[in-house]
Amino acid sequence: MRLLGLLCYIFLINIISGCSVNNSQNIATNKTVNFSQLVLNKTNFNRSTINVVNEQELFHLSKNQRKEFLDYFQKKNADNTPSHRIVADFINDKLSNFTYYGKTFIAKEAMAKNKGNCMSLAIYTTAIAKLVNLEVTYREVNTLPVFEKHNNLLLSSTHVQTILIDPTFIPEKNMVYFYKPSIVIDYFPTSTNHVGTPLNYKQFVAMYYQNIAADALVANNLNKAFAYAEQGFEFDPYSSKLLNTLAVTYRRKGDLITAQKLYDEGLKSNSKKLSLVNNYIFLSKKQNNEKKVAELTKTLENLNDPNPYTWLEQAYIAKKNQQYSKAIRYFMRTLDTAPYVHQAYIGLYQVYLAKHQPRKAQKMLKKALEWTHEFEQRKMYKMKLFQLSASI
């Protein structure tokens, strides 16, 4: 459940795992960087010592696991239940005892342990669907950012959904269909989820390697981080997330020149990501390149990311670093895109309190109440508003 992207003295690398992977377009265009065309210095890494999971292993199930599902499938299929419904029912039955666990497992591990993160669930679901040749697609989901800090790496989570396509669907002639009938498998279906970028199979597989590379970075196993990031590019050579992760790996190895080269290539693409720009700012500060820092900061301010949670993420980090003017701008960018994100109003309330501006803080609390419908949250906000109003 990770995605890495960076801020200030902290690394934020938006890496997807289970229910993670912040919004990336990953769409190949002639303006998008192709990793396979980059010439990189690999002498600092020893990939031969790393046993990288291959695609077949990723979705492999044991003989008993395959039998368990196929027996279930044959029984349900006898009632003419569509295969996508059978797969969904099987997974949902398992989910009743499936434990969320913030680690990415391959299919047989997820099924055996009956736990894992959202990526684990998606891999598990895909492995089951493959047994009956069921068509599967994927999509990212924009969610409220959740942070984990490990060894100076700040990990923020994204979310991925698996979509099981109805195999019985027959399109009518002269009709245009934007979506095929399907069932969505989701670990955390909540009202704060907003549909993001569609993903194809190869992009989805690349996410697995991205997750493992992120875990390796947390453990400071740079050889493994490099090996898995590089393997991910075999499936998605246009991934800005993998490029970002690889650049962080090179930076931590001490190869700032190659890290800079990766960031420069990333910024040539038409899918500039906040996390990539922020990590490049961090690198430029280490290089005492004030001109580049100013240039990248201007780029950051002018980025037009339609995902409100991307800006909310940046606002949280700026607030944590007591960069209050920047935090206010980013909270406002969040609300410009999505005025219903009440967490941004609460963030502004906290910033204005820190700046000793209680009336502005009071105004933000009132706005938060307008967009909050859960009883406990409304109760908490009303109490804060009462206490603040009494002190003004």
Using CA atoms, how far apart are residues 333 and 330, in angstroms rounded to an integer? 5
Residue 229 one-letter amino acid: A
CA 228 to chain CA mean position, Å: 17
Q: How far apart are CA 237 and CA 318, in angstroms?
A: 31
Burial class, 58, CB count within 10 angstroms (exposed 0-12 / middle 13-18 / buried 19+): middle
Report the chain's mean pLDDT, rounded to a whole number. 83
91 token code pair: 């997974």
Q: Give bridge partners of residue 199 from the DSSP assignment.
A: 138
Measured at the CA of 187, the angle between CA 182 and CA 193, to 5 degrees, comes to 80
Helix, strand or coil, per DSSP, at residue 183? strand
At the topology level, CATH places domain 308-391 in: 1.25.40
Report residue 68 as tokens. Answer: 């368990």
Alpha-carbon distance 365 to 370, whole Å? 9
Q: How far apart are CA 273 and CA 310, in angstroms?
A: 9
CA dihedral of 275, 125, 103, 231, whole degrees rounded to 10: -60
Question: What separation, in Å, do the N-terminal and C-terminal C-alpha atoms of the chain show?
Answer: 42
**pLDDT tens across 194-245, in order?**
566 889 999 999 999 999 998 899 899 999 999 999 999 999 988 888 888 9
Which of 170, 176, 175, 179 lies closest to 198, judged by CA?
Answer: 179
pLDDT at 101: 72
Contact 337, 312 (CB under 8 A): no
pTM for this prediction: 0.78
Whether the predicted pLDDT of 326 surpasses 70: yes
Confidence of residue 23 (pLDDT cuts 50, 70, 90): very low
Q: Pick the closest to residue 69 from 87, 84, 56 (CA basis).
A: 87
Cβ–Cβ < 8 Å for 140, 158? yes
CA distance 243 to 226: 11
Check residues 58 and 36 and name the one with the higher pLDDT.
58
Q: Do domains 3-290 and 308-391 have the same CATH topology?
A: yes
The two tokens of residue 85 are 């419904």
Residues in the chain: 392
| 12 phi/psi in degrees, rounded to 5 | -120, 115
CA nearest neighbour of 252 among 291, 225, 215: 225
Report helix angle 240-253 to 274-286, nearest 10: 20
pLDDT digits (tens, 9 = 90+) for 252-289: 999 999 999 999 888 876 556 777 888 899 899 989 99
Domain boundaries, the chain: 3-290, 308-391
- What percent of the chain is predicted at pLDDT more than 70? 82
pLDDT of residue 27: 34
- Which pLDDT score, from 0 to 100, does residue 329 have? 94
Among the four given CATH numbers 3.40.630.40, 3.40.50.880, 1.10.290.10, 1.25.40.10, the one describing domain 3-290? 1.25.40.10
